[in-house]
């Protein structure tokens, strides 16, 4: 296993982290973890050098409003000396916080669920602009400081799902040790993106990567033209190896999380991680990845660069975000994935920002340097996702 320094913590973390969001389940029920199989996988990964295990309050539950089964399972899986071998990460359910006291209540509950007296890497989960404003008012910085001081957590960080501007604001607000962002070869300009990755590391933060395979969409049911591009390459790698090595090629990346559901996934990821050095992709390999990215870009429907000149919208529509999810659908959708991609829109685009709020005033079109017929395109977004 290769190890990397996690920012200013100077902790050495395994390049591969075990994400406990997609553990094997029984009878298709996400709340019924196949514990025998899952424990075998986690123990094998740790025995092979993985020292970063990531979970969260709602994982393997029925929704974001309640607790899931992942944390209690991880607590049981890390018995018999395995807890001492790993850095344990979990997350404050930020969207459930109504008072300052709630922060302590959830953290203390999580410590009990995980059967531990401290969390090594504690993240404020899934920050976006609205949640962040609420947490600031309620004293999130004071909470984190006190939890570090009394030893319940070692390092404070956050995970993120919003645009680059609010990402930078959050990075600058508090003395974070690390952050967690979605990043893969299609997300160079999505959410924090490459610019956010470098911004965070320049500030001394370690960066944990989630969704390096886009929830499996970069390795399963690929568009035929993408499969053909990989097949024609002289250098032969599986889609998962191409995707993971592309992320690990960035020296700014500390650890890459993978949500593994089979022992086969664990062994394949361990193999790739063992040779995933920074700046190790050759010029030819980078050219192949550029060709694949070009294919995906050509499948986009709206030529939006995310310049924000159309913003703010008088009706509150987040025009670039709507176009991003619309384009992602057309880049990635297959008969097996189209339902999930539509669900992502309703999860990650707030109801107040969606395309159906457009009043067709046209002010946005006056400022669009790409000449996009924004009102017409928002109607298309609404028709797809409604």
Name all contacts of 100-104 with Cβ < 8 Å and 24+ positions apart. Answer: 100/138, 100/139, 100/142, 100/143, 102/138, 103/138, 103/140, 103/143, 104/143, 104/147
pLDDT number for residue 369: 64
Taking the C-alpha atoms of residue 386 and residue 346, their distance in angstroms, rounded to an integer, is 9
Taking the C-alpha atoms of residue 113 and residue 203, their distance in angstroms, rounded to an integer, is 33
Q: Could you give the 3-state DSSP secondary structure of residue 16? A: strand
pLDDT number for residue 203: 97
Beta bridge partners of 141: none
pLDDT number for residue 128: 87
Please name which of 86, 85, 134, 74 lies closest in space to residue 255, comparing C-alpha atoms. Answer: 86
Beta bridge partners of 317: none
Q: What is the pLDDT of residues 61-104, one digit of tens each?
A: 987 778 999 999 999 999 999 999 999 999 999 999 999 999 99
pTM: 0.83
pLDDT number for residue 66: 84
Please name which of 365, 384, 284 lies closest in space to residue 319, comparing C-alpha atoms. Answer: 365
What's the farthest any 2 CA atoms get from each other in the chain?
64
The answer to whether residues 324 and 306 touch, using CB atoms and an 8 Å cutoff, is yes
pLDDT number for residue 307: 66
Residues 178, 182, 186, 192, CA torsion sign: negative
Q: What is the pLDDT of residues 142-201, one digit of tens each?
A: 999 999 999 999 999 999 988 899 999 999 999 999 999 999 998 898 889 999 999 999
Does the pLDDT at position 240 exceed 90? yes
The answer to whether residues 209 and 255 touch, using CB atoms and an 8 Å cutoff, is yes
Does the pLDDT at position 305 exceed 70? no
Taking the C-alpha atoms of residue 279 and residue 214, their distance in angstroms, rounded to an integer, is 22
Q: What end-to-end distance do the CA atoms of the chain give, in Å?
A: 46
Burial profile 91-129: b = 16 or more Cβ within 10 angstroms, e = fewer: bbbbbbbeeeeebeebbeebbebbebeebbbbbbbbbbe
Q: Could you give the 3-state DSSP secondary structure of residue 295? A: helix
* Residue range 111-118: mean pLDDT, rounded: 98
Burial profile 312-346: b = 16 or more Cβ within 10 angstroms, e = fewer: ebeeebbbbbbbbbbbbbebbbeeebeeebbebbe
Strands 29-33, 25-26: pairing kind: antiparallel
Q: What is the pLDDT of residues 16-71, one digit of tens each?
A: 999 999 999 999 898 999 999 999 999 999 999 999 999 999 999 987 778 999 99
């Amino acid at each position: 296993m290769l190890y990397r320094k996690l920012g200013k913590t100077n902790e050495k973390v395994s390049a591969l982290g075990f994400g406990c969001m997609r553990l094997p389940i029984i009878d298709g029920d996400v709340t019924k973890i196949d514990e025998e199989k899952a424990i075998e996988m986690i123990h094998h990964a740790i025995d092979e050098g993985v020292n970063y295990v990531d979970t969260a309050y709602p994982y393997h539950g029925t929704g974001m409003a309640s607790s899931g089964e992942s944390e209690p399972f991880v607590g049981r899986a890390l018995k018999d000396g395995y807890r001492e071998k790993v850095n344990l990460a979990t997350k404050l359910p930020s969207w459930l916080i109504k008072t300052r006291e709630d922060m302590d209540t959830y953290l203390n509950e999580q410590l009990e669920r995980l059967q531990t007296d401290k969390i090594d890497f504690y993240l404020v989960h899934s920050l976006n602009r609205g949640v962040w404003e609420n947490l600031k008012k309620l004293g999130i910085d004071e909470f984190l400081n006190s939890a570090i001081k009394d030893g319940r957590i070692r390092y404070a960080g956050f995970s993120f799902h919003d645009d680059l501007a609010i990402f930078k604001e959050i990075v600058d607000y508090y003395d974070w040790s690390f952050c967690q962002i979605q990043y893969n070869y299609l997300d160079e300009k999505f959410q924090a993106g490459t610019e956010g990755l470098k911004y965070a590391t320049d500030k001394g933060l370690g960066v944990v990567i989630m969704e390096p395979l886009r929830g499996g969409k970069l390795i399963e049911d690929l568009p035929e033209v993408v499969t053909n591009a990989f097949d024609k390459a002289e250098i032969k790698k599986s889609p998962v190896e191409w995707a993971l090595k592309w992320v690990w090629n960035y020296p700014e990346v500390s650890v890459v999380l993978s949500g593994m559901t089979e022992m086969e996934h664990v062994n394949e990821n361990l193999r790739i991680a063992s040779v995933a050095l920074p700046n190790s992709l050759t010029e030819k390999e980078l050219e192949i990845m550029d060709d694949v990215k070009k294919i995906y870009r050509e499948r986009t429907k709206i030529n939006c660069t995310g310049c924000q000149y159309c913003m703010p919208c008088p009706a509150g529509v987040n025009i670039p975000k709507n176009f991003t999810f619309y384009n992602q659908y057309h880049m990635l959708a297959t008969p097996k994935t189209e339902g999930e991609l539509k669900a992502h829109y309703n999860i990650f685009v707030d109801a107040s920002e969606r395309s159906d709020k457009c009043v067709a005033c046209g002010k946005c079109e006056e400022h669009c340097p790409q000449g996009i017929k924004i009102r017409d395109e928002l109607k298309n977004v609404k028709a797809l996702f409604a």
